[in-house]
Structure formats: C-alpha cells, structure tokens
Amino acid sequence: MAIIDDVVRKTQQAGKFVADKATDVYDLTKASYALASLENKMDALMKQIGTLTFEEKTDGAAHEEELAALFESAKVLREEIIEARMKKAALKNEIACPECGKSNDKDAAFCSSCGKKLKD
C-alpha cells in the first residue's frame, strides 16, 4: 500500500504544480492583454493629438481646450501603462523600468536599456 500512497501523493503534487503554472500563465496573459489595451488607447490618443495639432498649425483651427483635455488623458494613461508594465514584470519575476518600461532582472540596480536607477 505504501507504493500506491506514494503514487497518489506524487500525482497530487504534480497536479498542484500544473494548476499553479496554468494560473501563472493565465495571470501573465491577462496582464499582457491589459497592457496592450492601454497601449492601443495611448496610440489612438496620440493620433488625435497629432491630428488636432496639425490642424492648428496648418489651418489655424483653435483646439486649445480639446488638446488640453487630451494631454491630461495622456498623462493619466501614461501612469496606468507604467503600473501595468510593472505588474507584468512582477509576474515574470522581473522589474520594469519606470522611465522606459523595459523589463530587467529583479536584482538589477539600473535599467539595461536606458540606465535609469531602478531601486532607491
């Protein structure tokens, strides 16, 4: 009976391991999708800002209030993107640079992409 008990215990351990890995993959996929969604919103917002700025400069159309509102939205969205990048990096056991958003090893002191200090 000891052999059967051992097989049952190892099977349960393997099942828990697989379930944990599936949860990790799901969480990372969900974080990646959320980040991509925010980045797509930012792209659309930047396109609107560019279009209005072009119209102002070429046609003299006044869009000051609309542009100011779009700039505020972009600031908020930028912060959400930074948070989403950090969440995704944490799920990958990494750290995201608050300056450029690139993932770095969790023990890194400086960003490997832009050189910004990662830890205080």
pLDDT digits (tens, 9 = 90+) for 92-114: 999 888 888 888 988 889 999 99
3-state secondary structure 98-117: CCCCCEEECCCCECCCCCCE
Q: What is the rounded CA–CA span in Å between residue 21 and residue 27?
A: 10
Q: What six digits make up the tokens of 61? A: 């159309």
Q: What is the rounded CA–CA span in Å between residue 64 and residue 56?
A: 9
Region 14-40 average pLDDT: 93
Element (H, E) at 54: helix 2-59
Q: What pLDDT does 98 receive?
A: 83
Q: What pLDDT does 60 receive?
A: 85
Backbone CA torsion sign across 63, 68, 73, 78: positive
CB under 8 Å to 53, separation ≥6 — which residues? Answer: 63, 67
Q: What six digits make up the tokens of 51? A: 């279009």
Q: What is the rounded CA–CA span in Å between residue 54 and residue 56?
A: 5
Q: What pLDDT does 36 receive?
A: 97
Rounded to two decimals, the pTM is 0.77
What is the tens place of the pLDDT at every residue in 36-55?
999 999 999 999 999 999 99
